[in-house]
Structure 1
Amino acid sequence: MKLQRKLAVTVIATAALVLSSSPAFAGQINGSGATFAQPLIDVCKVEFTKDTGHTVNYTAGGSGKGRTDFTKNLVDFAASDAVYTSDFPANLEYAPVYAAPIAIMYNLPTVTESIYLSEATVAQIFSGYITNWNDKLIAADNERTVKTVKFKTKKQTTKVGGKNVTKTVPVLDKKGKPVIASTSEKVVNIDLPNQLITVYYRTDSSGTSEQFGKFLKGANAGANERLWPKTASGTFANSTPNNISTFFNFQGASGSALVAAGVKGKVGGIGYGEVSWATDNKLGVANIRNAAGEFIAPDAAGTSAFLGGGTIEANGSLTADYKKSISGGYPIATASYGLVYPEAAKKNPEQQKIVAAWHTYLLEQCAKKFPEKGYAQITGALYDKAKSQIAKIK
């Protein structure tokens, strides 16, 4: 009898321990949207589940698909790299929870260092005016003196998978801006091959395409307006100055993953997408000239520097200034948004708690835990705005 009572006490104590270590409420939320966000969400939602017990299901079908699903109330949240221009839902809040560079990725096996491209050259490649890698305009970008920037970095230790992991991250000042260690000039002389350029672009409704189009138009405004005169569009082919459907060297693909796969599979290929798609496929990425005349690599520090010069709108979105001289700024960078329902939408309160917790985690933990993915942590005034937007999720 004594043995039975002892076993019973042990079972009850064990059960109590299990219950006390489990979340009081473990649920799941469903989202859809940007493929731009997918590399970060895929790794970070696993950490979120470990830390909270909640599950995040996310389908990456493009920013346009995310906005459509959100409008139709099919998801608890959506992710988009661009804001609505029409068909606004009755209840909507933008939460800028992470940022990242849009990289120009390419496949040139004989070129062993990162190439340099001016804003005008990028526009002419992606509109079909430049069709060969040995074009004189590409050569001029890569046989010259270039200005470069080096940022201060530090070692940062965070918990990933329950273990302490130390990684290198940018040093930020009190305003959340990356600190420049030095600026310099160097002479480059990169030989580009006699190789046809094959351009891969997004065919789906894409916030990445829209933000890329804003750069092409904004950075070439003024004297080079003719290079990219059209307004940016989520459908890339609608914003190009030429009808690219008639060009044999343009290949469309749905989603960032297929764009990157296309570039990887074609020598001479070039495309655009969040930088981790290039890194994961072992593709080269170009240094892009900014309005300060510097050639900057697509990384988190350059992204933070560039977006720090933008305007924070009342709805939580960020408007970039492509003509503003921002030292160290990578000019094809974008903040990306969680689309969420505020209290007025009268959604399930338990689901809303998870949505708020997930977006707080995206804002404060995900880029910090996985800096190798190339996303920039939101800081400074934009961080404060994001927190106030997330607070409306009730």
Structure 2
Amino acid sequence: MKLGKKVAIIAIATSSLILSSSPAFAGQINGSGATFAQPLIDVCKVEFTKDTGHTVNYTAGGSGKGRTDFASNLVDFAASDSVYTSGFPAHLEYAAVYAAGIAIGYNLPTVKTPIYLSPAVIAQIFSGEIQNWNDVRIRTVNDGEVKVPVFATKKVTVKVGGKNTTQTVPVLDKAGKPKILKYNTVEANAKLPNLPITVYYRSDSSGTSEQFGKFLQGANAGENAALWPKTASGTFANSTPVSLSNFFNFQGANGSALVGAGVKSKIGAIGYAESAWFTSNNLGTALVQNWAKEFVPPTAAATSAFLGGGTIEANGSVTTPYQKAIPGAYPIGTASYGLVYPEAAKKDPEKQKIVAEWHTYLLEQCPKKFPEKGYIQITGALYDKAKAQIAKIK
């Protein structure tokens, strides 16, 4: 009998310890939006739950779907790679909590060396003007010496899955600019096959498509303006110079995951998405020529260099410069935004507290914990602006 009482007391004490180590309040928030952000959100929301006890549910249906759901008050937050052009929700705030490069992924298993692409060639491929990998315009860019930056990195220790883990991250200064160690002069000599190009593009309303279209138009302005004259659109097919119905080699896909899977499924295919969708499928990503005439991979450091040359707007968004010679910049970088409600929106205060915690976690912890996903650790003035935007969530 005494033994039974002793066991019962130990059990009660143990359960008290378990309860006392749990968060005082554990809640749940729901979000919707960009597939561009999904590789980072999927892994980091698990860490967020471990660290805070809160649950984040996120449905990646595209930036357009996220903005619609947010405006309709269907979610507590949304993620979008582009800003609203109409249908603005009342009391909207943008917080640039993560950023990454939009990679150009390709499936060419016989090509063992990197592929280099200029903005003009990318525009010609994605408008259907270039339809074969052996086209002289691609071969010309991949023939001769190219200049490639090499960035400084450092080792950091972060807690992932409850364990200390050493990660390699780029060295960034207080302004968010990466340190360039040197430039390598590389002989571009990709043996491009005589193979038709299949283009995979986003068929849904996509902030990634809109940012990609802005790059194609902005980087080709001036003497190359005819290559991509239309204003960027969240619907890729609406911004192409020629109707895609004229071509048989274009395949629409709903979301970045299906773009990556589509490119993986077809030898000779090419597509655009956040780089994790291609690296997870063991696909190559092109080095893209910037306005400083360097060829740069879609790394976190190179994206930091590009966004560091942008303009931070009053609403928290970033306007990027496509014809500015920024050393080391990967020229198809984009900030991605959390869409949130400030105090004036009079939302549930407990959920708003979790929304603020989640976006702070995205900003400060997630890229550092999972650098292999290719997202940058935002620093400098953009970090300060994002923190100020998050502080409005009450």
Q: TM-score, normalised by structure 1?
A: 0.98
| Aligned match of 1:74 | 74
Matches of 2:47 and 2:109 in 1, distance apart?
Answer: 36
| Aligned match of 1:209 | 209
Alpha-carbon distance, 1:13 to partner:
2.5
Aligned 1:11-26 pairs, distance under 5 A:
11-26=11-26
Matches of 1:145 and 1:306 in 2, distance apart?
Answer: 23
Aligned 1:1-394 pairs, distance under 5 A:
3=3, 6-7=6-7, 9-394=9-394
Q: Identity over aligned residues, as a percent?
A: 75
**Which region of structure 1 is more displaced relative to structure 2, 144-153 or 184-193?**
184-193
Alpha-carbon distance, 1:2 to partner:
5.7
Q: Quick one: which amino acid aligns to residue 174 of structure 1?
A: K
CA-to-aligned-CA distance 1:38-60 (integer Å, 9 cap, x gap) = 00000000000000000000000
CA-to-aligned-CA distance 1:258-281 (integer Å, 9 cap, x gap) = 111111111110000000000001
Alpha-carbon distance, 1:12 to partner:
3.8
Alpha-carbon distance, 1:114 to partner:
1.7
Matches of 1:323 and 1:139 in 2, distance apart?
Answer: 24
Contact 2:301–2:376 (CA under 8 A) maintained in structure 1 = yes
Matches of 2:93 and 2:113 in 1, distance apart?
Answer: 42
**Which region of structure 1 is more displaced relative to structure 2, 175-184 or 365-374?**
175-184
Alpha-carbon distance, 1:16 to partner:
2.4
- Partner of 2:102, secondary structure, is strand
Q: Quick one: which amino acid aligns to residue 13 of structure 2?
A: A
Matches of 1:176 and 1:65 in 2, distance apart?
Answer: 31
Matches of 2:105 and 2:190 in 1, distance apart?
Answer: 17
CA RMSD of aligned residues (A): 1.1
CA-to-aligned-CA distance 1:180-239 (integer Å, 9 cap, x gap) = 100232222211000000101001000000000000000001110000011000000000
Contact 2:36–2:81 (CA under 8 A) maintained in structure 1 = yes
- Partner of 1:272, secondary structure, is strand
Q: Quick one: which amino acid aligns to residue 163 of structure 2?
A: K
Matches of 1:310 and 1:241 in 2, distance apart?
Answer: 26
Matches of 2:349 and 2:113 in 1, distance apart?
Answer: 52
- Partner of 2:223, secondary structure, is coil
- Partner of 1:224, secondary structure, is helix
Matches of 1:253 and 1:175 in 2, distance apart?
Answer: 37
Alpha-carbon distance, 1:337 to partner:
0.3
Alpha-carbon distance, 1:91 to partner:
1.8
Q: Quick one: which amino acid aligns to residue 128 of structure 2?
A: G
- Partner of 2:365, secondary structure, is helix
CA-to-aligned-CA distance 1:133-168 (integer Å, 9 cap, x gap) = 000010001002111100001111111101111121
Matches of 2:6 and 2:187 in 1, distance apart?
Answer: 79
Q: Structure 2 unaligned segments of length 5 or more: list them.
A: none
- Count, aligned residues: 394
Contact 2:174–2:379 (CA under 8 A) maintained in structure 1 = no
Q: Quick one: which amino acid aligns to residue 322 of structure 2?
A: Y
**Which region of structure 1 is more displaced relative to structure 2, 368-377 or 8-17?**
8-17
Matches of 2:2 and 2:109 in 1, distance apart?
Answer: 76
Contact 2:175–2:308 (CA under 8 A) maintained in structure 1 = no
Contact 2:176–2:305 (CA under 8 A) maintained in structure 1 = no
**Which region of structure 1 is more displaced relative to structure 2, 220-229 or 13-22?**
13-22
Q: Quick one: which amino acid aligns to residue 77 of structure 1?
A: F
Matches of 1:187 and 1:15 in 2, distance apart?
Answer: 65
CA-to-aligned-CA distance 1:262-321 (integer Å, 9 cap, x gap) = 111111100000000000011110000000000000110000010000000000000000
**Which region of structure 1 is more displaced relative to structure 2, 155-164 or 234-243?**
155-164
Matches of 1:338 and 1:188 in 2, distance apart?
Answer: 39
Q: Quick one: which amino acid aligns to residue 346 of structure 2?
A: K
Alpha-carbon distance, 1:385 to partner:
0.4
- Partner of 1:14, secondary structure, is helix
Matches of 2:212 and 2:138 in 1, distance apart?
Answer: 19
Contact 2:203–2:254 (CA under 8 A) maintained in structure 1 = yes
**Which region of structure 1 is more displaced relative to structure 2, 182-191 or 202-211?**
182-191
Matches of 1:156 and 1:112 in 2, distance apart?
Answer: 32
Q: Quick one: which amino acid aligns to residue 363 of structure 2?
A: L
Alpha-carbon distance, 1:4 to partner:
5.9
- Partner of 1:262, secondary structure, is helix
Matches of 1:28 and 1:318 in 2, distance apart?
Answer: 30
Contact 2:227–2:241 (CA under 8 A) maintained in structure 1 = yes
CA-to-aligned-CA distance 1:3-27 (integer Å, 9 cap, x gap) = 5664454344223211210000111
Matches of 2:8 and 2:251 in 1, distance apart?
Answer: 68
- Partner of 1:217, secondary structure, is helix
